[in-house]
Structure formats: structure tokens, C-alpha cells
């Protein structure tokens, strides 16, 4: 049986939530940190940028495996040990990466980084669910993900600045040190668990438990489709601005940053949505609105900043669903909360893959407007799943 988090005072709870937010931000920054370093890595190791890019690919692959598999371990042995071990090993792998003598060694270390980094999100979200009542979870999830999303706004520029000052190894030293510090804080501030019975490790049985819940299956499917729409929209937005509006690559940075703010706004809205009796209906409406926004921006001839505004609106409403689905999953998963969060996170990864791949296919067949129709179609299907998969259940579901 899984252990339950002990009750925390308001001060301890705030410290826990703060260190969790910082940890999520650092983990996400490490996940993405290679982007501004690829050119320097290719020069230092005498490889092409395309080969250096495989470091990013292997990190994502290892991360996806870990996100899906760590849940039962967390549910069986507790959040605090997984948090401390995860951050400790992640910090160590990043710190040792600064000493990598060649590409092969760094490649292996990035696999370790992905495997340990993927432990953080499901365990952190499940720990928050242990501490907070259901009525407060969605807001907390939204704020945590909004904070983590700042990694692309703050974390990546920080990596670029550090690399500019001292080379590509310096960001690894800095990030590794901060992660190890975070591991110490996790040990000190993470809620301790109290045993509610003998602990047993169950792996496949937890997946079977979640797969047997119809509401969770509907949540997984709806989230997968909405993530496909989001990533399908974002994956080709820069190309659209360049090809259709004549922007240079450098000039797309500001529009993309503005559109990215929609993730923060949408995630922050989830707390209000989750408190509604018919939250499934609200998420369905927002999803379809996001699909319509994608269709409008990719189909209508508008000034560039009007396109950015529509993309921002679409990104905002399509990102309401993910934190809401997280809250629903933790409510219905019983003692398998981390397993549920990990499975939901895996659907995010699959949604990203499907959105980019299928979006590219329809782009090749019908141009940018076809991408808009694709995004509208998948959001409409997700809305139907929500209406038929959740609409017949009691409001609390």
C-alpha cells in the first residue's frame, strides 16, 4: 500500500510547493538546454549539427520511458525517496556531462539525464496531489506548469548567456549545481510519508487498474488529441510566419515568445475550470475554440500581428485541458496517482509526436490551411470524447 504524505503546516506547504516549482523549472530547463548549444557542441566534437541534435532526441526518448515507468515506483515506495534520488542523479549526470571528453560519453550521459529527469514531473505532481485537497489541485498544477514553462523563456536564454561567457561546459556545471542543491532541499522540505500499511511493489497491476477506469481512458484520449492539436499548431507556426509573412528566422523569436505566453495563461485558468460542475463541457468548448483558432490563423490572410494574436488566443484555450485532466486523474486514481500522472504525461509525448508527424503530412498534402483543418478535427473528436465519456457521469467526475 502506498504511503500517505503527512499533514503540513501552511509554511511547510509553501516551502514544499516552492521547491517543487523550482525543481520542475530546472528539470524542464535541462530537458531543453541543448538547443542553444548544438553549434558549439558540433564544433568541439567535430561532428555535424544534425549528429549533435541526436543528443536532444535521445534525451526525449529516455525521458518518455521514465515518465511512463516511474509512477508505480513512486506509488509503491513514496514520493520523497523518488524525488531525492531523481534530483540527485539528475544533478550528478548534468554535472558530469560538463567533463565529457567526446560525443559518445555525452550521449550516454544524456540517456541518464533523460531517465532521471523523467522521474521528476509525475512524482512531483503526485506529491502535490497528496498534500492538497482536490479543490485546490488544478490551480496548483496549472501554476506549477506555468512556472515550468518559463524554462523556454528564462532557462534557455540563461544557458545561452552562460555558454557565451565560458563555453558549452559552463551551463552544465551551473545546472548540475542547482539541481544538486534542489535535491538537498527536497530532502529537507519534501513532505515525509507515514505508512498506512505494508508496502508492496506492484508495477503492471497499477497500469491495469488505471486502464480499467473508463473515465481515465476518456481523459487519456482527450488529452492525446488536444496535445496533437497544440503541437500541430506550434510545430509549423514559425514556418508559416517565414513563408507566408516574410519574416526572417530571427524575427520569429518575439512572435513565438508572445504565443508561448498562452501556455502560462491557459494553465493558470485550469483551477477555475476544474471547480465547475460541468468542467468536461468547458474543456470541450475551449478545445474546439483552440482548433478554430488554428484554422483561422492558417487559413485567413491576416496581418502578421493579427496572426500572432489569434495564435496566442488558440494556445491559451487549448492549454486549459492538460492541468484539468491532471486534476481529474489524481482524483480517480486512488493509491496510483503517480502512475496516472505518468500515463497522462506519456500521452503528452505521443500527442507531440502525432501532432508534428500528422501535421507535417497534411501540410505536404494540402498546405498550411490543411494543418488548421487537422487541428480543428482532432479537437472536435476530443470534445466528443469528453461529452460522451464524461457527460454521463456525476458532476464530481
What pLDDT does residue 29 have? Answer: 87
Q: Does the residue 395 lie in any domain?
A: no
Does residue 83 or residue 341 have the better pLDDT?
83
Based on the domain organization, do 229 and 327 belong to the same domain? yes
CA angle 395, 396, 397 (to 5 degrees): 90
What pLDDT does residue 294 have? Answer: 95
Q: Does the residue 348 lie in any domain?
A: yes
Based on the domain organization, do 267 and 170 belong to the same domain? no
Most distant CA pair in the chain, distance: 64
Residue found under cell 507566408: 244
Based on the domain organization, do 245 and 151 belong to the same domain? no
CB-count exposure of residue 12 (10 Å: 0-12, 13-18, 19+): middle
pLDDT higher than threshold 90 for residue 252: no
pLDDT higher than threshold 90 for residue 336: no
Based on the domain organization, do 108 and 227 belong to the same domain? no
CA-based nearest residue to 146, from 135, 156, 157, 154: 154
pLDDT higher than threshold 70 for residue 4: no
Based on the domain organization, do 148 and 270 belong to the same domain? no
What average pLDDT does the segment 115-125 reach? 88
Based on the domain organization, do 146 and 221 belong to the same domain? no
Mapping DSSP to helix (H, G, I), strand (E, B) and coil, where does residue 67 land? Answer: helix
CA-based nearest residue to 252, from 237, 230, 234: 237
Using only C-alpha atoms, the chain has a radius of gyration, in whole angstroms, of 21
For the chain, give the number of residues. Answer: 397
Does residue 322 or residue 274 have the better pLDDT?
322
- Give the CATH number, domain containing residue 114: 1.20.1250.20
Q: What is the pLDDT of residues 40-75, one digit of tens each?
A: 888 899 988 778 878 877 887 788 788 878 888 888
Does residue 345 or residue 174 have the better pLDDT?
174
Based on the domain organization, do 147 and 219 belong to the same domain? no
Based on the domain organization, do 226 and 183 belong to the same domain? no
Based on the domain organization, do 257 and 118 belong to the same domain? no
**Domain encompassing residue 24:** 4-190
Considering its fold, how many domains does the chain have in total? 2
What pLDDT does residue 11 have? Answer: 64
Contact (CB, 8 A) for 124 and 182:
no
Q: What span, in angstroms and rounded, lies between the C-alpha atoms of 88 and 197?
A: 28
Based on the domain organization, do 119 and 54 belong to the same domain? yes
Based on the domain organization, do 255 and 352 belong to the same domain? yes
Q: Does the residue 195 lie in any domain?
A: no
Question: Phi/psi at 130 (nearest 5 deg)?
Answer: -65, -35
Cα of 35 vs its chain's centroid, Å: 17
What pLDDT does residue 199 have? Answer: 54
Residue 396 banded pLDDT, cuts 50, 70, 90: very low
3-state secondary structure 4-32: EECCCCHHHHHHHHHHHHHHHHHHHHHHH
Amino acid at each position: 500500500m502506498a504511503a500517505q504524505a503527512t499533514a503540513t503546516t501552511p509554511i511547510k506547504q509553501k516551502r514544499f510547493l516552492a521547491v517543487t516549482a523550482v525543481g520542475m523549472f530546472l528539470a524542464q530547463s535541462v530537458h531543453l538546454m541543448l538547443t542553444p548549444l548544438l553549434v558549439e557542441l558540433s564544433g568541439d566534437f567535430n561532428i555535424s549539427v544534425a549528429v549533435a541534435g541526436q543528443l536532444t532526441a535521445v534525451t526525449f526518448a529516455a525521458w518518455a520511458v521514465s515518465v511512463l515507468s516511474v509512477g508505480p515506483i513512486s506509488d509503491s515506495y513514496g514520493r520523497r525517496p523518488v524525488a531525492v534520488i531523481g534530483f540527485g542523479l539528475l544533478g550528478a549526470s548534468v554535472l558530469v556531462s560538463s567533463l565529457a571528453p567526446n560525443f559518445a560519453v555525452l550521449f550516454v550521459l544524456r540517456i541518464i539525464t533523460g531517465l532521471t529527469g523523467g522521474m521528476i514531473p509525475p512524482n512531483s505532481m503526485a506529491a502535490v496531489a497528496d498534500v492538497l485537497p482536490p479543490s485546490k489541485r488544478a490551480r496548483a498544477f496549472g501554476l506549477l506548469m506555468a512556472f515550468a514553462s518559463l524554462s523556454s523563456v528564462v532557462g534557455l536564454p540563461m544557458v545561452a548567456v552562460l555558454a557565451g561567457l565560458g563555453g558549452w561546459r559552463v551551463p552544465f556545471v551551473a545546472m548540475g549545481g542547482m539541481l544538486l542543491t534542489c535535491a538537498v532541499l527536497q530532502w529537507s522540505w519534501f513532505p515525509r510519508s507515514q505508512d498506512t500499511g505494508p508496502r508492496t511493489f506492484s508495477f503492471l497491476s497499477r497500469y491495469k487498474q488505471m486502464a480499467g477506469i473508463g473515465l481515465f481512458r476518456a481523459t487519456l484520449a482527450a488529452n492525446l488529441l488536444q496535445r496533437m492539436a497544440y503541437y500541430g499548431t506550434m510545430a509549423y507556426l514559425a514556418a508559416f510566419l517565414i513563408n507566408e509573412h516574410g519574416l526572417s528566422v530571427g524575427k520569429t523569436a518575439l512572435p513565438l515568445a508572445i504565443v508561448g505566453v498562452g501556455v502560462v495563461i491557459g494553465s493558470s485558468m485550469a483551477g477555475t475550470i476544474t471547480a465547475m460542475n460541468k468542467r468536461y463541457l468547458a474543456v470541450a468548448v475551449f478545445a474546439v475554440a483552440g482548433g478554430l483558432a488554428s484554422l483561422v490563423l492558417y487559413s485567413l490572410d491576416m496581418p502578421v500581428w493579427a496572426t500572432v494574436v489569434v495564435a496566442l488566443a488558440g494556445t491559451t484555450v487549448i492549454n486549459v485541458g492538460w492541468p484539468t485532466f491532471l486534476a481529474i486523474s489524481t482524483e480517480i486514481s486512488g493509491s496510483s496517482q503517480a502512475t496516472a500522472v505518468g500515463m497522462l504525461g506519456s500521452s503528452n509525448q505521443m500527442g507531440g509526436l502525432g501532432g508534428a508527424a500528422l501535421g507535417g503530412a497534411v501540410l505536404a498534402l494540402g498546405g498550411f490551411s490543411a494543418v488548421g483543418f487537422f487541428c480543428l478535427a482532432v479537437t472536435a473528436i476530443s470534445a466528443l470524447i469528453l461529452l460522451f465519456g464524461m457527460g454521463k457521469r456525476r458532476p464530481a467526475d
